[in-house]
Structure 1
Amino acid sequence: MMLRLFAFLALALAATPALAQQEVNITADLFTLDEQTSTAVFTGNVVVVHPTVTVWAPKVVATYGAGGTSDIKTFEATGAVKLETTDQTATGQRAVFTPGDQLLRLTGDVVVVNAGGTVNSDELVVNLETNVSTFTSGQKGRVTGVFTSQ
């Protein structure tokens, strides 16, 4: 279930052909497209709405390649980042997705909550290719979880 949240986010923001027909809406106080640095920057109350996931962050930066904005190299949300699906919520300070290696990293006081419980860590790395999610701790201590039975 936890992987599903990040898989939806990664697919929604990577502009993959599989989602070409699905609409992704992004709202922000300010949008800047810098063709010289190949970056699209959304700042101020950013909300990314995809049919399967919603992301909130103070700032979202997409770096794109030669194919333009449909050729996303990295997607980074920073500040108090929140990702939400119908069955779970994840929060952290920074979320970075890199389509090239299919890794999504959520860092900084990570909390993932769903009906099965809550996991707290310093970092969560989701490998979308292998479907492996890894929670790690840093200097703050250990990964913690509280799980409930259904």
Structure 2
Amino acid sequence: MIKRFLLAAILLLLALPAFAQQPVQITSDLFTVDEKTKEAVFTGNVVVVHPTVKVWADKVVAVYGQEGPSDIESFIASGKVKLETDEQTATGDQAVFTPGDQLLRLTGNVVVINASGTIQAGELVVNMETNVSTFTSSGSSGRVTGVFTSQ
């Protein structure tokens, strides 16, 4: 369930063709495109709304390659990151997706909540290729914790 949610959020934010046919609304206090550094940056109260997922962050940066904005090399959402669907919510300090290795990293005070329970961790790494999600603790004294409800 976590994989499906995070994949939908990332595909939305990267504006892949599957989502291009559906309306996506992005609002922020400031939007800057820098052709020299190949960065598209949304800053301040960023909200991305799609019919299946809503994303909030203080800042969203998409770094793109030689072929322009459709050639995403990395996607970084930072500052009070929240990803929400009808089924679950994930929060953290930063989310980084790199299409080249198909890894999504949600780091810093990670909390994932759904009907089955709540997981808290320092980091969540989702491998989109293998469908494996790994929660790790934060530092030497931190632990991954989960509270689960039987259905």
Partner of 2:149: 148
1:70 counterpart SS class: coil
Partner of 2:124: 124
Structure 2 residue 20 is matched with structure 1 residue 20: yes
Q: Equivalent residues in 2 for 1:2-13 (5 A)?
A: 2-13=2-13
**In 1: Cα distance, 2:44 partner to 2:101 partner:** 29
2:69 counterpart SS class: strand
Deviates more, 1:21-30 or 1:85-94: 21-30
Measure how far apart 1:11 and its partner are: 1.1
Aligned length: 150
Measure how far apart 1:80 and its partner are: 0.6
Q: Given the two structures, how large is their TM-score scaled by the length of structure 1?
A: 0.96
Contact 1:65 1:73 (C-alpha < 8 Å) held by counterparts: yes
Deviates more, 1:106-115 or 1:16-25: 16-25
**In 1: Cα distance, 2:51 partner to 2:73 partner:** 22
1:10 counterpart SS class: helix
Contact 1:92 1:107 (C-alpha < 8 Å) held by counterparts: yes
Unpaired segments ≥5 residues, structure 1: none
**In 1: Cα distance, 2:68 partner to 2:145 partner:** 41
**In 1: Cα distance, 2:132 partner to 2:14 partner:** 19
Q: Given the two structures, how large is their TM-score scaled by the length of structure 2?
A: 0.95
User: AA paired with 1:105?
Assistant: R
Structure 2 residue 75 is matched with structure 1 residue 75: yes
Partner of 2:93: 93
Partner of 1:39: 39
